């Protein structure tokens, strides 16, 4: 999310701005311009994801009233609850993961696949941060419920790859949660104030930055 707010995600438009010769169209929907706003808020696939989880009205409002991705995020966290903010952050990561899997591995994921991956990320984080052993489902039950998803995309012999993916996901949700919580808290203290500049929102997100956050 920090990279998203700083405009550092290597979308096709961003790459061309840096002198990299590549097509400008969207990897997912083949729209004419793939920039950050399009990937997460305007792409038809992304819209269907937001509709599926019931956040489209909030996302659409923020997208229509935000001049950039980071401003849209700030507008969103002013309205979302803490749980919705976690879900929002996890879905941003899952959408970017979907985009890269399609680009580099030719995988065509379903909307349900993207939503479930984000949900699993949130569940893993909540399990890892539960102070007692009294949880609704044990870690093994959560893990078993996901085997079909991971095995459908990973070679059966590549267990190390699956393990690494899960470990990274567990680690990343901590930073996603803390980052969105910081912005949520700051936005609550700024109710009624004008939306901040690009640099100020990016600074809020950057306070929780870690090199491993939201990998490709």
Residue extents of the structural domains in the chain = 2-206
User: Which residue blocks in 135-158 are alpha helix, DSSP H?
Assistant: 139-144, 147-153
Note if the pTM is more than 0.85: no
CA 149 to chain centre: 18
Contacts of residue 195, Cβ cutoff 8 Å, sequence gap at least 6: 66, 71, 74, 75
Radius of gyration of the chain (CA): 17
Predicted confidence (pLDDT) per residue in 140-159, tens digit: 665 666 665 555 554 444 44
**In whole angstroms, what is the distance from residue 13 CA to residue 42 CA?**
15
pLDDT band at 174 (very low <50, low <70, confident <90, very high): very low
pLDDT at site 137: 53
In the predicted structure, residue 31 carries a pLDDT above the cut 90? yes
In the predicted structure, residue 107 carries a pLDDT above the cut 90? yes
């Amino acid at each position: 999310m920090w990279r998203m707010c700083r405009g550092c995600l290597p979308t096709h438009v961003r790459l061309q701005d840096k002198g990299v010769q590549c097509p400008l169209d969207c990897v997912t929907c083949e729209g004419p311009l793939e920039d950050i706003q399009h990937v997460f808020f305007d792409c038809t696939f992304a819209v269907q994801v937001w509709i599926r989880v019931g956040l489209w009205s909030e996302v659409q409002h923020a997208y229509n009233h935000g001049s950039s991705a980071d401003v849209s995020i700030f507008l969103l966290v002013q309205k979302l609850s803490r749980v919705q903010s976690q879900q929002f952050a996890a879905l941003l990561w899952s959408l970017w993961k979907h985009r890269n899997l399609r680009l580099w591995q030719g995988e065509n994921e379903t909307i349900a696949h993207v939503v479930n991956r984000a949900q699993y990320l949130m569940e893993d984080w909540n399990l890892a941060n539960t102070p007692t052993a009294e949880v609704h489902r044990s870690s093994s039950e959560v893990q078993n419920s996901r085997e079909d998803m991971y095995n459908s995309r990973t070679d059966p012999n590549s267990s190390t790859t699956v393990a690494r993916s899960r470990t990274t996901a567990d680690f990343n949700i901590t930073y996603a949660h803390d980052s969105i919580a910081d912005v949520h808290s700051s936005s609550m203290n700024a109710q009624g104030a004008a939306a901040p500049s690009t640099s100020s929102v990016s600074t809020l997100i950057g306070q929780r930055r870690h090199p491993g956050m939201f990998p490709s």
